[in-house]
Amino acid sequence: MATISGISEDLERLIVFISDLTPYSDDALRKPIVGTWSIQDIISHIMGWDKSFIQTLNQIINNEEVNLEEHHDVQAFNEASVTFGRTMKPHDLLKEAISQRKQLILKLSMVPESAFNRQFHNSAYTLETFLQEMFISHDKHHEEQIMKHLQTVR
């Protein structure tokens, strides 16, 4: 069973990964690599989920009712996140994504350990399993996409 600090370490890996993207040019970050999505779009997509989940963590910290589940309209949520990211300069977006992930980790550190492993009402998830499946696995998936692409352009 994972701990909050262990999950936080896994979540921090994305910060390092995004930091490693800063030497790339704006053009490289904007070039489509998966369908119509660029590296910038993928990072914006991840950042959108981070921003949304920070609100959920606030609810958990405040002992409010939370339903841990995927967004009811993932496609629309993703499109909105990508559209928002395209309004930013790529390197500003990288900085903002790092900031949002740091904030998510900070909020997670405020969650009581007892809330971390308990089953949430009307949910198949605990906070631990939700973060493992929806964030850490998701991060790895997109990191692999980006790395695969970057290996072809070197």
Taking the C-alpha atoms of residue 127 and residue 33, their distance in angstroms, rounded to an integer, is: 32
Query: Residue 64: which of 73, 74, 55 has the closest Cα?
Result: 55
Q: Give the model's pLDDT for residue 154.
A: 61
Residue 24 lies in domain: 4-153
pLDDT at residue 53, rounded to an integer: 95
- What's the CATH number where 53 sits? 1.20.120.450
Count of beta carbons in the 10 Å neighbourhood of residue 136: 16
* Residues in the chain with pLDDT values less than 70: 154
Task: Provide the domain count of the chain.
Answer: 1
Query: pLDDT, tens digit, for every residue of 63-100?
Result: 888 888 777 789 999 999 999 999 999 999 999 999 99
What pLDDT is attached to residue 117? 87
Q: What is d(CA 145, CA 94) in angstroms, rounded to the nearest whole number?
A: 17
Helix (H) or strand (E) holding 90: helix 90-109
> Do residues 53 and 136 make contact, with C-beta atoms less than 8 angstroms apart?
no
